[in-house]
Amino acid sequence: MKEKLKEIQEKARKQIEEATGADSLNDIRVGFLGKKGELTAILKSMKDVAPEDRPAFGQMVNDVRSQIEQQLMQAKAAVEAKELESRLSFEKIDVTLPAKKNNIGHRHPNTIALEEVEKIFIGMGYEVVSGPEVEKDYYNFEALNIPADHPAKDEQDTFYITKDILLRTQTSGVQVRVMESKKPPIRMIAPGRVFRSDEVDATHSPSFHQIEGMIIDKGVTLADLKGTLAEFARRMFGEDTKVKFRPHHFPFTEPSAEMDVSCFKCKGKGCRFCKGEGWIEILGCGMVHPKVLKMSGIDPDVYSGFAFGIGLERIALLKYEIDDMRLLYENDVRFLSQF
C-alpha cells in the first residue's frame, strides 16, 4: 500500500507539471481526489488493512492528499498568472484616447418652469405647501362655494372614487386646508397634479398640474392682486411684459378676472404665437369670496384676500414655445434634451 501511494503521488506530480491550463488541472483533481479517483479507491481498501495498522495507513493517505492538493493549488496560481500576463499583453489601453462621455439627465421642462414660479413667489414671502391628490368632495367643491347642484361641478368632469372621495380637479382645496389650520396672515402657493376627464390632444390632458396661490390678511385689496400678478408676469416673461385683466366668474372669488400678458414673442404686435391678438391668457384670479373665508373659519369682516390659479403646463408651453402639450409626457429624448 505504501508503494502504491508513492506511485499515485509521483503520477499526480508529473501530470500536474505537464498540465497546460485550468481545465486539465481540474481533470487531474477529479482523477485523483474525486469520488471515483485513485486516492479515493485506496481509502476504500482500508477494510483489508489490519486494524492496528489503519491509523498509520490513514495518515499516509491524508499526507498524499495534502501534497497533491498543494501542488494543484500552486499549479493553478501559476496558470492564472500566466493567463493574466498573456491577456494584459493583448489588452493594452491607449491613455491618449478621449474618454467616454456620460449621458447625464436633467430637469424636465415642467420642473424648470415650476422652480422658476416658486422662486418668484418665495421671493415675495410666499410659502410652498402641498395637499392630497385623492381629495374629499367637501374640500374640492363645497368649501370653495360650489354646492352639489352648482353647474361648475358638472363642467369639471371629475373622476369620482366614491360619492364623497375623488381625484382633485384643482389644488384650491389645499387653500381651504391651510385656512382651516392656520390663522392669518397667510401667504402660500400650492403646486400639484390635478385630474379631469378630458380627451388627450395638443392642449388637454386628463392629468396636468396647477399652481394655486393665495394671500389672506387685513386690508388686502384688488390693487394688491393686480400688483402682485403684474410683478410675477414681469419676472417670468420679461421686464417689458404688460398685463390685462378681463372680468370673469369663479364661484370661489368675487370679483373674478382672467389675466392676459402681452405676447413676449411679438411684443404685442400680433403673431402666430398669440394668434394675432398680441395678448395671451395666462391665469384666473380674484378676491376670495367672503363665504369661502367664513366656511374656513376666517371672519370676512376682518380679513380679505386674493387667490389665483396658474396652469403649469401652460407656463411651460408659452415660455419654451412648445405647440403640443403631449410632448411634455411622451418622454422623447430628442425633445427633452433641448432643455
At 205, the amino acid letter reads S
- Report d(CA 130, CA 173) in Å as an integer: 10
Side chain identity at 191, as an amino acid letter? Answer: P
The predicted pLDDT at position 4 comes to 75
Helix or strand run (H / E) with residue 28: helix 22-33
**What average pLDDT does this structure show over 174-191?**
94
Q: Can you give the pLDDT at residue 155? A: 56
Check residue 131 and give its pLDDT. 93
> Which pLDDT band holds residue 23 (cuts at 50, 70, 90)?
confident
> Of residues 306 and 64, which shows the higher confidence score?
306
pLDDT tens digits, 138-181: 999 999 988 877 776 665 688 889 988 999 999 999 999 999 99
Cis peptide before 191 (omega within 30 of 0): no
Secondary structure (DSSP) of 249-292: EETTEEEEEEEEEE-TTTTTS--TTTTTSSEEEEEEEEEEPHHH
Task: Show Cβ contacts of residue 297 under 8 Å, excluding neighbours closer than 6 positions.
Answer: 179, 180
pLDDT above 60 for 278: yes
| 3-class DSSP assignment, residue 135 | strand
Instruction: Look at residues 7, 75, 4, 85 and name the one whose alpha carbon lies nearest to residue 44.
Output: 4
Which pLDDT score, from 0 to 100, does residue 211 have? 95
What is the C-alpha to C-alpha distance for residues 212 and 233, in angstroms, rounded to an integer? 15
Helix/strand/coil percent split, the chain, to 5: 45, 20, 35
> What is the enclosing helix (H) or strand (E) of 86?
helix 54-90
Q: Look at 49-53, 161-165, 197-201 and tell me which has the smallest mean pLDDT.
A: 49-53
Give per-residue pLDDT as tens, 211-264: 999 999 999 999 999 999 999 999 998 888 899 999 999 989 999 999 998 887
pLDDT tier for residue 46 given thresholds of 50, 70 and 90: low
